[in-house]
Amino acid sequence: MGTVNSDLRVVGAGIGGLSLALAHTRPPRGLGRAERRLVIQEKTPVLSEVGAGLQLGPNAVRHLFSWGLASELRSVAFEPQRLIIHSLLNGEILAQLPLAEQGRILNQYGAPYLTLRRADLQQILLQAVNKTGATDLQLNQAWQPEAMAGSCVIGADGLWSSVRASVWPEAQAPKATGHVAWRALVSQKALPPAWRSDSVRVWLGPRCHVVAYPVAAGEQLNIVAIANQKDLQAAASTTATWDQDADLNGVRTFLLPKTPAALRSLLEAVPAWRQWPLFDRPPVRSAADMVRGGVALLGDAAHPMRPYFAQGAAMAIEDAAELTDALSECSVELALSRYAQRRWERCARVQSASERNGRIFHASGPFGWVQKARDASLRLFGPQLMDPAWLYGGGPGLLQSPPLN
């Protein structure tokens, strides 16, 4: 793209793009960062975050709090008491990890573990960005490479990134994982008292799993069920459409026979489901996968995550913080290079861990030996396996991510 100037053009106004815009306005500011003009171009005419809920580990929450969003987040998020893992086959509790309980996560990592609706996080970021008045947010503006020549471009436009397709034409398109997610939000007051939860609960079964956790300051329960598609009795769509209506009868026909009676009552209480076929790309291979000339990729545009480690949004927030730091240290071109060098190994590690967790969550095999071994490991070593210090502690002054093997 030739020589780049000090303009920063961000493509995409999702969680990653808005995080970058907000972080860019926060001190410390170096090398004239405050004077750089930042423009966000978003192809949709109205900002509306898709998806239901998300989990944010302390590695992401630390950044959001440092950007002045603690009170706003606490007004809409929920701090779950525990992470509880069950067997999907019989409901047995296999392992538990205190989260807010005993102040464990906050005391250990300097920030809490939060759950919230994706739309709430996007609105908090959007309001904070608008309040600064330092960002030009342009809606209904598609990516046009020729119009951005000479600017630093940040592709934060998601899994199906137009920036990536244009600047990395040799990169393969996202591929279907063979997994389908059903998601739902249910009012906690509408649920039987036994299912009104204050914790993150996960049920692991052969070739599928279910997770449920409170959002909306505890008023709603976010429920997600993910299954290997070839097991579905009613085949789900494999198109790239992210948010689709789900066949309620198909969901119940596939899930209910596999679940214990107690969990079945929760799933039966869900009035409507949304359906997401899951797509991804291979883990990042080098810094060159994240930066080329005056263009850098951020979040899912760079390193889409399968949902089995609950780190997709967190990695985008970390990207925004790292890129902001790099822009405070040096010229734009050098900053992009430093950002990619600092981020690619950690992102690749989390991508690989997410894929591996999916295999563990859905473990199956002859006579159930694989899932029995998984369950035994959780009973013996659950808290150690559920508390990834290398991930949650990664950041200035705390534990760092180990090298990627």
In whole angstroms, what is the distance from residue 202 CA to residue 353 CA?
17
Which comes out higher in pLDDT, residue 116 or 240? 116
In whole angstroms, what is the distance from residue 64 CA to residue 255 CA?
36
Instruction: Measure Cα distances from 25 to 63, 270, 299, 350 in Å.
Output: 13, 42, 19, 28
pLDDT at 331: 85
Highest mean pLDDT among 42-56, 232-246, 250-264: 42-56
- The 3-state DSSP class for residue 200 equals strand
Is position 234 within any domain?
no
Is position 70 within any domain?
yes
- Per-residue pLDDT of 374-391, as tens digits, reads 999 999 999 999 999 999
Strand 152-155 vs strand 244-245: parallel, antiparallel, or unpaired? unpaired
316 in Cβ contact with 298 (< 8 Å): yes
In whole angstroms, what is the distance from residue 117 CA to residue 292 CA?
33
**CA 186, chain centre distance (Å):** 21
In whole angstroms, what is the distance from residue 95 CA to residue 56 CA?
20
pLDDT at 401: 39
Is position 328 within any domain?
yes
In whole angstroms, what is the distance from residue 119 CA to residue 24 CA?
22
Q: Stretch 321-348: mean pLDDT, rounded? A: 94
**C-alpha closest to that of 343 among 302, 390, 301, 388:** 302
Is position 289 within any domain?
yes
Is position 127 within any domain?
yes
- Per-residue pLDDT of 133-154, as tens digits, reads 888 999 998 888 876 677 789 9
Is position 57 within any domain?
yes
Domain span at residue 301 reads 8-79+112-173+281-360+388-392
184 in Cβ contact with 38 (< 8 Å): no
- Per-residue pLDDT of 13-31, as tens digits, reads 999 999 999 999 887 654 4
Identify the helix (H) or strand (E) that includes residue 175: strand 175-187
Is position 314 within any domain?
yes
**Least-confidence region, from 55-64, 247-256, 285-294:** 247-256
Instruction: Measure Cα distances from 240 to 180, 243, 252, 280 in Å.
Output: 12, 9, 23, 11
On the question of pLDDT at 251 being above 80, the answer is no
Q: Stretch 351-380: mean pLDDT, rounded? A: 92
Q: Stretch 280-305: mean pLDDT, rounded? A: 96
Is position 349 within any domain?
yes
In whole angstroms, what is the distance from residue 351 CA to residue 55 CA?
16
CATH of the domain at 152: 3.50.50.60
